[in-house]
Amino acid sequence: MKRIYCNREHGPQILEILNEVIQTSTTLYDYKPRTMTMMEAWFDAKEKGGFPVLGLVDDAGTLMAFGSYGTFRAWPAYKYTIEHSIYVERSFRGKGLGEIILKSVIDEARQREYHNLVAGINAANQASIALHLKLGFQLCGTVKHAGFKFGDWIDLQFYQLLLDGPKNPVDG
């Protein structure tokens, strides 16, 4: 297994992972599968914002897991807060890859001197909640009935990890 920075070449594998999650779970609040055009726009936004897409690949080059972060909110005063997402390809789940990729996301956020790393997690996703708590995240709020999917209301919980950065925060 090797940690990599994903690029557009990984778009089809990322798309496959995301679409499986969209179609089978309430982890993502989308209803319809994403397209390659949507993935191109996603990569454009990551590049424009300077947000890395981290991945884990096996010896055959198969993307087993990926994670990234992006803008938490669009207003300037939120510039030191980011929201992350991590996903593990279904055949590799339950093998500790989520923890590896989340630690990589945390490390990248620290290196880039962010201050607050946020996770929005379906309140029923106990595995993700346990992982985030294990790595030091704290529950900071619940939005009841934030989403509706598969005929049911979904509660969204926010978890946060405060980081050391930045050394010299500035307004503006």
At 51 the pLDDT is 97
At 65 the pLDDT is 98
Nearest to 115 by CA among 76, 172, 167, 55: 167
CATH number of the structural domain spanning residue 18: 3.40.630.30
Nearest to 116 by CA among 86, 141, 80: 80
> What are the two backbone dihedrals, phi and then psi, of residue 65, each rounded to the nearest 5 degrees?
-160, 155
Is position 116 within any domain?
Answer: yes
- Give the domain range for residue 113: 2-162
Is position 13 within any domain?
Answer: yes
Nearest to 151 by CA among 42, 11, 4, 26: 26
Domain total of the chain: 1
Is position 26 within any domain?
Answer: yes
At 133 the pLDDT is 98
Taking only the tens place, the pLDDT of each residue in 122-151 is 999 999 999 999 999 999 999 999 999 999
Is position 74 within any domain?
Answer: yes
| Distance in angstroms (rounded) separating the CA atoms of residues 104 and 121 | 19
Taking only the tens place, the pLDDT of each residue in 49-89 is 999 999 999 999 999 999 999 999 999 999 999 999 999 99
Contact indicator for 15, 66 with CB cutoff of 8 Å: no
Taking only the tens place, the pLDDT of each residue in 19-59 is 999 999 999 999 999 999 999 999 999 999 999 999 999 99
At 125 the pLDDT is 96
CA angle 16, 129, 56 (to 5 degrees): 40
Is position 50 within any domain?
Answer: yes
pLDDT grade for 172, boundaries at 50, 70 and 90: confident
Is position 151 within any domain?
Answer: yes
At 102 the pLDDT is 98
Is position 153 within any domain?
Answer: yes
Is position 171 within any domain?
Answer: no
